[in-house]
Chains A and B, each alone.
Chain A
């Protein structure tokens, strides 16, 4: 039997008390203040929306607001049902997401799995340029180019319609979905792909059956981000989709989104303090809450599907 080994622990070092470095504390404080600015912004947004909105809801019943189907707040015989605006917003977001999602993921797969470095190096910056185009220019393009084009090919669209705006918005969102999805796919380790190839799979199978499922959390995050950007988009819809608040799912018709209403009314002639003015805040609050909820959903989804590799 080996002898018991006794290890003598030396006495712990008697170190002097840690000297507070005031410079470091100061830096820490400054940094915290900088970070707190973002919190102040949120607080500011909430207050600036909430207070007039509360006033608004004292005069207009929330039930009527959230369930009413006629939006005519500025007319003598006023109706304050926000449903047409919400429907308008979602119609636009739906169609643009429908366009952007498959195309965006397609572009992402191409860049991540098929293209070589040089080609990708050229294409990615061009995608970023597409994403950087100011939305006022895109809105104008939708109205003056896309709408006549749609009419020329026989689609009987109104002069202001949801379809043109959705198409243009969808193209704007392709880079967002593509770059986030591509990042997610790039994060998938090579081993997984190599394993697939080793088993005799071809590129299509590896891309669609291995890489995409592995990157699904990033792809979902990309989708939700793009969708919430579509919900929040103002200029394209203001210029091209119209200002007729009605409930319709036909994209060829004129609609009005929440953002277009705020933009048009905020610029217009409404006396501050009037009930009409407060509609801006009520709708703004609704919009804010919707995007917030979508963001939280996205965080949840990402966490649920995330694959951790190392």
Chain B
């Protein structure tokens, strides 16, 4: 092959690829619904998107920029839906006001924040909120299990937890340490909960926390601790989260819909309705705690009120 032939081949195949890319828009039919936000809620919305597409052939893209990042894009008008693992906070409300974005808050599922330890940890079964606070509070010097409870053995404590820019972190710190963002800083913080799974399952003295789905998927490698929120030790489970007995670590998960998109686009309305109507299937598949029937009814009422 001559040089000329090769060059022509390259350029034409590249150009062809791009033309295909440019024209290949046929797939995403009418429009694309954009959702972005919490990486915890992400799997729920993703599963919903998958099922929704199978049923109605509408595309939904789901980003995981995080709860704060999701709100930021949402309030700038860039997305239709904001996924959040905590309620919108004051600063973000102001942001949305400035951006002229009105929204409707929908609760879509519940998560049971789970504390996990290594399977070889045979001394700890239940921790009280006070004990958790002692471990995780800012400036905490607890570095050994024996400091958590005198009956525990002398094993170094290795901590893994949520990254500071995640809703999981915000919720855990506000509930355990009394203030959002208040936490000791000398632990392995990560956005990627699999990192926590790896870390805790690889170290006898490790302790970590993350959303329930990560524990469910890795039950053979991890052990979940019961939490005593004042009413006795309760293990994290779907039932306990639904009836609120797993306190204080059961947290609501939200999807915020932009009023503008809600009003204008039938697809957005249908998608939200889809998430509510099929709440149990989606949540179970994504390993979250589905809304109880009462909660579903409540959300559906919100939906009806918001629909023009």
A–B in direct contact per CB < 8 Å: yes
A interface with B by C-beta (< 8 Å): 70, 72, 74-77, 79, 143, 158-160, 242-244, 246, 254, 264-265, 267-272, 274, 276
C-alpha gap A109/B198 in the complex (Å)? 41
Q: B65 at the A/B interface (Cβ < 8 Å)? A: yes
Contact A243 B195 (CB under 8 A): yes
C-alpha gap A72/B183 in the complex (Å)? 10
B interface with A by C-beta (< 8 Å): 38-39, 64-72, 91-92, 95, 138-139, 158, 163-167, 173, 179-183, 185-191, 195, 198-199, 202-203
A158 and B203 in contact, given A75-B164, A265-B165, A269-B167 (Cβ under 8 angstroms)? yes
Mind listing 8 A-B residue pairs with CB under 8 Å? Answer: A70-B185, A160-B199, A254-B188, A264-B191, A269-B166, A269-B191, A271-B69, A271-B92
Q: How many A-B residue pairs have CB under 8 A?
A: 93
Contact B185 A272 (CB under 8 A): no
Which residues of the other chain, A, contact B92 by a CB distance below 8 angstroms?
Answer: 271
Contact B179 A267 (CB under 8 A): no
User: Main SS of the interface on chain A?
Assistant: loop
The 8 Å CB contact of A268, one of B69, B158, B181, is B69
Q: Shortest beta-carbon distance, B223 to chain A, in Å? A: 17
The 8 Å CB contact of A244, one of B39, B69, B186, is B186
A244 and B187 in contact, given A158-B203, A270-B68 (Cβ under 8 angstroms)? yes
Q: Shortest beta-carbon distance, B297 to chain A, in Å? A: 31
Contact B190 A243 (CB under 8 A): yes
A268 and B191 in contact, given A70-B185, A159-B199, A246-B186 (Cβ under 8 angstroms)? yes
Contact B165 A276 (CB under 8 A): yes
Contact B185 A243 (CB under 8 A): no
Which residues of the other chain, B, contact A268 by a CB distance below 8 angstroms?
Answer: 65-66, 69, 163, 165-166, 191
Q: Give the residue name and chain of the B residue nearest to A73 (CB).
A: B164
Contact B189 A244 (CB under 8 A): yes
Contact A271 B188 (CB under 8 A): no
